[in-house]
Amino acid sequence: MHKTIAYQGVQGAYSEQACRNAYATYKTIACNTFQEAMWMVERGDADLAMIPLENSTAGRVEEIYRLIPQMALHVIAEHFEPIVHCLLALPNATLEELKSVASHPQALAQCHNNILDLGLKAEAKLDTAGAAKELVTLNNREKAAIASKLAADIYGLEIIKENFEDIHGNTTRFFILSREKTVPSYEPSKKYITSLVFQVQNIPAALYKVLGGFASNGINLLKIESYMGTQILPGSQFHIDIDGHIDSYILRLALKEVAFFAEDVRILGVYESHREHEVEYTI
C-alpha cells in the first residue's frame, strides 16, 4: 500500500510538484485548504503533509504561521522547491494567437514584465494549477495560463514558454509534517535545524532575555517570527528556527536559559538542513 502526502491546491500545483520531488514513491492527496491537509495527517488519513512556509520573492505565507502554534503535528524535514513558471496554452495554439493569461496573483506579479512584453491581459485566479485546469474547460486558443510543468502534463497543455518568470531563482521553503515525532541521531558533521515556539511574558525586554541564551552560547538563529498575543495570553508568541541539533551540548545550555524566561516552550521538530543543497535562498 502506497504511503500518502497531502498538500493544498489543485492537481498540478507547485506544492504537488514539491511532494513528487521530495517523496517520489508517495501518493499525493489534493486538499482545499492548508488546515485540511494538516487534518488529514492528524486523523491518520495521510502519512505526511507538504506545507509552504515562505517564498524568496513573495515572503512568508501568513496563514501557515497562524496555524503552526495550534497544530499537533511534528516537523520532520524541510524542502526547498525551485518555482519555474511556464506559459501554457491549448495544444497547437501559437504565441501570436494569445490575448490573455490567467494565474494566481503572485505568479502574475512574478511574470509581470514578460506579460507586458507579449501584450497579454492578466486575469487573477485562485491558484496556478486551477487556471491551467480552467483553460482546458474554456477551450479558447486566445487564452493562456501560468502554471507548473506538472500542470501542463496533467491537463495536456502546450508549454509555450518555460522559465517565464521575470527573475529566475524563485524558491519556496516547505515544512514536511508528520503525526509521529522523529528526531534524527545527532552527528556533529551534519547540519541540523531545531524549530520551536514559545510564549514570553508581557514585560520589557522579555524577548531580549530569552534570546540572550542563544547569543551567549554562540548559536545562530536562522529566522524568527512573531505572533500577537490574546486577551487570555497577552504575552507575544514566537517561532524560531535554530542552526543546531537539540542534542548538542551548547543548544541544551541555551534552551535551559530559554525555559527560565519563556513560557510554553514547544519543540516543533528537529531535522537535517536542506539549505546546504541550495545555491542561494533569501527569506
Residue 249 grid coordinates: 551540548
List 28, 128, 172, 194, catalytic entry: 172
End-to-end CA gap in the chain:
38
Catalytic residue of the set 164, 174, 175, 214 = 174
Contact by Cβ (8 Å): 146, 88: yes
Is-catalytic flag, 172? yes
Q: What is the DSSP letter of 173?
A: E
Q: Is 174 a catalytic residue?
A: yes
| Listed residue (178, 198, 188) closest to 245, CA to CA | 188
DSSP class of 4: E
Give the burial string for 213-223 (b: 16+ CB within 10 Å, else e): bbeebebeeee
In whole angstroms, what is the distance from residue 9 CA to residue 29 CA? 9
State the DSSP H helix or E strand holding residue 170, giving kind and residue range, or none if neither: none
* Closest CA relative to residue 143, chosen from 162, 125, 122: 122
Spatial separation of the C-alpha atoms in residues 16 and 30, rounded to whole Å: 8
Supply the residues annotated as catalytic. 172, 174
